Chain A
Amino acid sequence: MSSSGKDTVSQGPGINAGSASSPSQPPLAIELRNISKSFGAVRANSNIDLVVRKGTIHGIVGENGAGKSTLMSILYGFYQADEGDVLINGKRVRISSSRDAIAEGIGMVHQHFMLVENFTVLENVMLGAETHRLLAPGENNAREELLRLATDYGLSVDPDTLVSDLPVGEQQRTEILKALYRHAEILILDEPTGVLTPQEADQLFRVLQALKARGVTVILITHKLREIMDVTDTVSVLRLGQMVAHRNTAQTSMEELAELMVGRKLATASFERVNPTALPPGIEVRDLSYDDRLGVRRLDNVSFHVGRGEIVGIAGVAGNGQSELLEVLSGITPPVSGSFVINGRETSAENPTSPGEMRERKVNHVPEDRLKLGLVKAFTAAESSLLGYHTDAKFSLRGLLRLDSIRKMCERLMKSSDVRPANPRLRSASFSGGNQQKLILARELDKQPEVLLIGQPTRGVDIGAIELIHEKIVAMRDGGCAILLVSVELDEIMTLSDRILVMFEGRIVGSVLARDADKTQLGLMMANAHDVADKQSGLFNDSQAYGSDVSGADQ
């Protein structure tokens, strides 16, 4: 279990960006003039202008497919613009490879890290920028440089740890160190917080402020508007390949940005809560424990229940056992001890239930990691929409797949969930994350489950699609489905759940009725610092048959 990232309790995400327009304007670090880029008939970027001043943090927001990544790829040399100019520090440059970009002082931290897992931090930082033919003298230089960067920017990572042993937040720091080691003065971060815990995200933002203070220009690509509001000085909004607005962050609001991104007003989601008493049981978990392959206890005597017709949200910092809980409940891995009853079927270590049996019992699972579990990237959308149901008589007749009914089923799912493009023959990998998620959700909801396990339903999904996904989940609840929702987005948990359980280090450390939930309270519980607060506010009254919902919170 990752140790760092949890020891520091954050003061909340608010780091003040300070005033956006200082009296003496700093010089321009980046200027993009009239940039256009087409892929065939699709204009990914059209006539984009962008100005970023030196030593500021600039946010770029937009839905998936709005052209954010294309624009940054042009800046970083992965693509060349069809038209337009790139100016760095006031000088017109031609960036035709990442090597050119690095030479211009541009560094990029990708959403998916570009690190060699079985190299140390030091080796990763040096890779491709070794200063000596022999490794040892270069290593010494790099070590000194890393030390300097660590003190200058507060970017401390042990240089001799293997990257694979680092928590995600520190892996990301390694990426930033790589860029700084190559003398980056402009740092592009692509969706940097998608993989981070809230605490790690806060640490990242502190690092960004330190970088800014030392004159580094930061471009932050994200679709999380809260982050934009918290850390950026200026922000640009992309929609359908066009730059629709530039704003000083201090003079805009999340509502305005959201509207600009989507191009229409968004209804503020608020769903009716269900009274969670006297519901028929859907999931009953008793003293469930699970150890991973290395023998680390991931679930520790977990007990709770979910009634039919309620949504129980599991809040917690990522890596506190939520993923394992979903895996065990969906039958992917058997528990080590304890048991759970889903839909009348008891599962325990001695009596495991396979994922296939779970499906037969109308237990459906929308996995957290859609690319690894939810679909097969190389499959067509139609093939991915069959995942888990290839033995269903509707789709295979004496072993032969009924391609026609599979295609029709996929078309129906795509239509019902507005998956775009609605083409079942397209490869699953070529859909955007949001559309992949909509397809997976449609596949699982279509089976009219009685119990639904959902992990990170809207991770990496556009605002517009989030609305639709949330509505569908609530509709399932209203239809009498028992829903267990795991999400690292606390807002999402609070929006959707009827009851909220908080997990910390594999235990359930708190249970709150959502209508009484308070964000600070939950945040403290997630960091397991709620003991005192708990006794004061008395929120822990889960008046349920299984009073052991709150377990191990008190030692």
Chain B
Amino acid sequence: MNTQNVPLPAWIEVGLIPILNIVMALFFAGLIMFAIGVNPVEAVEIMLFGAFGYDEAIGYTLYYTTNFIFTGLAVAVAFHASLFNIGGEGQAYIGGLGVGLVFLLLDAYLPPLLLIPIGIAAAGLFGAAWAFIPAWLQAYRGSHIVITTIMFNFIAASLMVYLLVNVLIAPGSMSPETREFDAAAWLPQMHEVFTWFGLSIARTPLNLSLVWALICCLFVWIYIWRTRWGYALRTAGYSESAAIYAGIKPRKVIVSAMCLSGALAGFVAVNEIMGVHHRVLLNFTAGYGFTGIAVSLMGRNHPIGIIFASLLFGVLYQGGAELAFEIPKISREMVVAIQGLIILFSGALALMLRPWVVRLYLLVRPLDSEPST
């Protein structure tokens, strides 16, 4: 029986199936732990406690989540235009360069109220510019975007090493980093924000960029589903020929969608550079760009789904770190393996369980439409 075209209600499609996928992944992760003599239930407890158990844990979890939201949205926007942007990592990295350049120039002269919007704009613009080149090559020269964006990750990495070692390095410094920005350019961290209201929470890297990430989610949702540009983007993504028929120029859609995607990836620098490190340093992107692909896949390319998927990966990062710390038998690599299992089951094998779910669903409630003849 062909179950592929059987429509399922939204709550099963975007709710039940992803949860089942995670349960499957955790089951296999549990088997691994069992094999090395760790009680899986205890491990899950430690992980969840490490992610949510106390102020500081929550702060770190949400701090990671912020990065995943940005990169997940970046992949999703491109995906709706039928483009696979693998270059989030490089775009985020170059976004950091943008923030660094403007702050190194301006941080002594402008007030925070001006510096912060300029920094955000620089991150977005630089990210967008780094995505623009592969996009242009795809649109006007036919170079495949997957290949070019991957290569642009390497170019970005080499460029940043060169710039940080030779050009932007703080005078007299031993490590390849820029000088620290003036405090005026720092994006307020959450514990500071809370003190403005007389509340006190633990000190964590979590900063106001989480709010910016949520605003971006809203923006992406409106843009994709509620604006004519989003309509054009989806039309071109689904059917290039229908887009041309409708007077939409697919090449422009490719370029604009990739630039928006690159800008969103670039915002990782808002969190990392403006919010946490306050200087540009090597490898601050730490793979968030790549994980964004899994986040977007898991979140079904929808901002709401991406928020939940980002939170899950935030938990895995933070809780996983705690797990490696608490149980010596579980190494950092083991945590990465668990993450890998989750990506495997909810990304690559996302539809593996669907046929069974469809059959179960049809048993409970049969179809209400005839297949078209």
Contact = CB atoms under 8 A, between A and B. Distances in A.
- Tell me if chain B binds chain A: yes
B245 A373 contact: yes
Interface of B: 1-2, 222, 226-232, 234-235, 238-239, 241-242, 244-249, 365-373
A67 B222 CA distance: 41
B228 A39 contact: no
Interface in A355-404: 355-359, 365, 367, 369, 372-379, 383, 386-388, 390-391, 395-396, 399-401, 403
Given A390-B228, A399-B228, A38 B366 contact: yes
* Interface magnitude class on chain A: 35 or more
Nearest to A69: B373
Contact of B242 (A65, A357, A359, A375): A375
Contacts of A39: 366-371
State the 4 A-B residue pairs at the shortest beta-carbon distance, nearest first. Answer: A356-B247, A40-B368, A69-B373, A373-B245
A65 B370 contact: yes
Contact of A390 (B2, B231, B244, B370): B231
A365 B245 contact: yes
A383 B231 contact: yes
Contacts of A383: 231
Given A42-B369, A390-B228, 11 more contacts: A64-B373, A65-B372, A69-B371, A330-B245, A359-B247, A376-B239, A377-B239, A386-B231, A390-B232, A432-B373, A433-B372
A433 B1 CA distance: 24
Contacts of B373: 64-70, 432
A356 B246 CA distance: 7
Contacts of B228: 390-391, 395-396, 399-401
Contacts of A4: none
B245 A432 contact: no
A78 interface: yes
A40 B245 contact: no
A354 interface: yes
Interface of A: 38-42, 44, 64-70, 78-79, 330, 332, 354-359, 365, 367, 369, 372-379, 383, 386-388, 390-391, 395-396, 399-401, 403, 429-433
A375 B235 CA distance: 9
Contacts of B368: 39-42
Contact of B238 (A40, A41, A376): A376
Contacts, number: 113
Given A64-B372, A433-B372, A373 B242 contact: yes
Contacts of B367: 39-40
A379 B373 CA distance: 19
A490 B182 CA distance: 79
Contacts of B231: 383, 386, 390, 401
Nearest to A357: B247
Given A376-B235, A401-B231, A387 B372 contact: no
Contacts of A403: 226
Nearest to A355: B247
A388 B238 contact: no
B227 A376 contact: no
13 contacts: A64-B372, A65-B373, A69-B371, A78-B1, A79-B1, A372-B239, A373-B241, A374-B242, A377-B238, A379-B238, A387-B246, A388-B245, A390-B228
B227 A400 contact: yes
Nearest to B231: A390
Given A38-B366, A374-B242, A377-B238, A430 B247 contact: no
A367 B239 contact: no
B244 to A, nearest CB: 6
A376 B242 contact: yes
B370 A44 contact: yes
A354 B247 contact: yes
Contacts of A44: 370
Given A355-B246, A390-B246, A430 B372 contact: yes
> Counting chain B CB atoms within 10 Å of each CB, which of A378, A403, A429 scores highest?
A378
Nearest to B365: A40
A367 B245 contact: yes
Contacts of A396: 227-228
B226 to A, nearest CB: 6
B300 to A, nearest CB: 14
A154 B118 CA distance: 75
B29 to A, nearest CB: 35
Nearest to B366: A40
B245 A355 contact: yes
Nearest to A360: B247
A64 B1 CA distance: 23
A500 B127 CA distance: 57
Nearest to A45: B370
A373 B372 CA distance: 19
A332 B372 contact: no
Nearest to A399: B227
A476 B280 CA distance: 66
